Amino acid sequence: MRSFLTHLECTYCKTIFSIEKPLRTCSKCSKVLYPRYDIENAKKEITPAKISTRTPNMWRYFEMLPIINPDNIITLGEGFTPILPINNLGRQLECSNLFIKDEGINPTSSFKARGLSAAVSKAKEFGITKFTIPSAGNAAGALAAYCARGGMKSNIFMPKDTPIANIKEVSIIGSDLTLIDGLINDAGKLSQEKAEKENLFDVSTLKEPYRVEGKKTMGYEIAEQMNWKLPDSIIYPTGGGTGIVGMWKAFDELEQLGWIDSKRPKMFCVQSSGCAPIVKAFLEKTEFAEPWKNAKTIASGLRVPVAIGDYLILDALRSSNGGAVAVEDEDILLETKLIAKLEGMFICPEGGATIKGLKILLDKGQISTDENILLLNTGTGLKYLDIFKD
């Protein structure tokens, strides 16, 4: 197996950078860098049939992932999570083809495992051993876990009101944890300062080019698990947006590989009405999102007032003919409990938000009941016991 990684490209000004050294954002315009691959040659080496015989985790797409030497992979078995039909909920909504991809069964119980497995493995390839991250909760647990697994050191900055499970997880794993009076963007400033002072590698969402490569494997899996025919609509609970832009990147790569056609799902982003910068920017038709003031929501993964990849998220929503909806926290709780009762799935509130989002989109006619609809559940409810009072 060999990776077909060739270079990094700025998603905004298109400047090309070498993959020889660890980079973070574009040195010209400070926007997000994407890894690029020699897909023409990858195509000659891998086929869906060949991939299908490999171990069911995200590293089955190795040729389209950025690690050069497979020995550098730090894995806990992340990825290849199931796509389950949810017919009991589907019947209530009169949706005949409703599915959920359950990312809650990943290591560290959220899809953050994918991004951090990729980023920590790639950093290992560069000889980096000390990391720092600002997190709304789940990214911290994942960084802590992959660092421990790789014998590396992690420093974590999180809001002090992050769910208790996230806090205990990182302290038991043994990270250096700083709880702050503020939100993830405030944590980001402290993390960056510490990185500069102590020469740590900061793996903030999309300010490091390889986390998105882990997250894009959700897109590869959706295609593979649905027999190389993408759903009509995908509903995704959006914070920093790595997942949605990662899937969008994956679909382009898959088309270039010749494994899917040019038809794309409508991509929908769901946010909490207590922190909905992307929804606001989508509705106001702006290229970037303004920072959200006083961000507040029980869905801690959505409590991201500033997303560096805002223009990428908005582009995916717009060019797919999708959309963006904000939902109330109260409804997030109700829907999270509803799917637990109907399907036996105790999902995270971020996942619950997609159900309310779906209901709104059906009402507005942006999604129709006969479509093939895929919800993304991004984590387990078990990490959020503090918000369930009964």
Ligand X SMILES: *Cc1c(COP(=O)(O)O)cnc(C)c1O
Q: Which residues of the chain form contacts with ligand X (CB under 6 A)?
A: 110, 112, 138, 205, 237-243, 301, 348, 350, 378-379
List residues near Zn ion by CB under 5 A.
10, 12-13, 15, 26, 28-29, 31
> Within 10 A of 219 (CB to CB), how many other CB atoms are there?
26
- The minimum distance between CB 134 and ligand X, in angstroms, equals 12
- The minimum distance between CB 213 and ligand X, in angstroms, equals 13
- The minimum distance between CB 205 and ligand X, in angstroms, equals 6
Q: Which residue is nearest to ligand X (CB)?
A: 301
The one of ligand X, Zn ion, none whose footprint includes residue 239, by CB under 5 to 8 A per kind, is ligand X
- The minimum distance between CB 309 and ligand X, in angstroms, equals 9
The one of Zn ion, ligand X, none whose footprint includes residue 28, by CB under 5 to 8 A per kind, is Zn ion
Nearer to Zn ion, 26 or 89 (CB): 26
Locus of tokens 């109330």: 328
Nearer to ligand X, 245 or 361 (CB): 245
The one of Zn ion, ligand X, none whose footprint includes residue 209, by CB under 5 to 8 A per kind, is none
The one of Zn ion, ligand X, none whose footprint includes residue 29, by CB under 5 to 8 A per kind, is Zn ion
The one of Zn ion, ligand X, none whose footprint includes residue 26, by CB under 5 to 8 A per kind, is Zn ion
Q: Pairing mode, if any, of strands 16-17 and 5-10?
A: antiparallel
CA distance 382 to 390: 13
Nearer to ligand X, 3 or 117 (CB): 117
Tokens of 334: 């109700």
* Region for 63 from its dihedrals, namely left if φ exceeds 0, alpha if ψ lies in -120 to 50, beta otherwise: alpha
The one of Zn ion, ligand X, none whose footprint includes residue 348, by CB under 5 to 8 A per kind, is ligand X
Nearer to ligand X, 212 or 361 (CB): 212
Nearer to Zn ion, 10 or 218 (CB): 10
Nearer to ligand X, 42 or 209 (CB): 209
Query: b/e for 204-215, b at 16 or more Cβ within 10 A?
Result: bbbbbbbbbbbb
- The minimum distance between CB 190 and ligand X, in angstroms, equals 19
- The minimum distance between CB 206 and Zn ion, in angstroms, equals 13
The one of ligand X, Zn ion, none whose footprint includes residue 129, by CB under 5 to 8 A per kind, is none
Nearer to Zn ion, 7 or 31 (CB): 31
CA distance 7 to 16: 7
- The minimum distance between CB 197 and Zn ion, in angstroms, equals 26
Q: Which helix (H) or strand (E) holds 56?
A: none
Q: Is 282 exposed, middle or buried (0-12, 13-18, 19+ CB in 10 A)?
A: buried
Torsion of CA 125, 131, 134, 140, to 10 degrees: 80
In DSSP notation, 350-365 reads HHHHHHHHHHHHHHTT
- The minimum distance between CB 38 and ligand X, in angstroms, equals 27
Structural contact between residues 240 and 203, judged by C-beta atoms closer than 8 angstroms: no
Q: Write phi, then psi, for 270 (nearest 5 degrees).
A: -115, 135
DSSP 209: T
Nearer to ligand X, 138 or 217 (CB): 138
Task: Tell how many helices (H) and how many strands (E) occur in the chain.
Answer: 13, 13
Q: Is 291 exposed, middle or buried (0-12, 13-18, 19+ CB in 10 A)?
A: exposed
- The minimum distance between CB 314 and ligand X, in angstroms, equals 13
- Cα–Cα distances in Å, from 257 out to 37, 42, 63, 64, 251? 11, 8, 11, 10, 10
The one of ligand X, Zn ion, none whose footprint includes residue 243, by CB under 5 to 8 A per kind, is ligand X
CA distance 238 to 353: 10
The one of Zn ion, ligand X, none whose footprint includes residue 10, by CB under 5 to 8 A per kind, is Zn ion
Nearer to Zn ion, 33 or 247 (CB): 33
Structural contact between residues 209 and 34, judged by C-beta atoms closer than 8 angstroms: yes
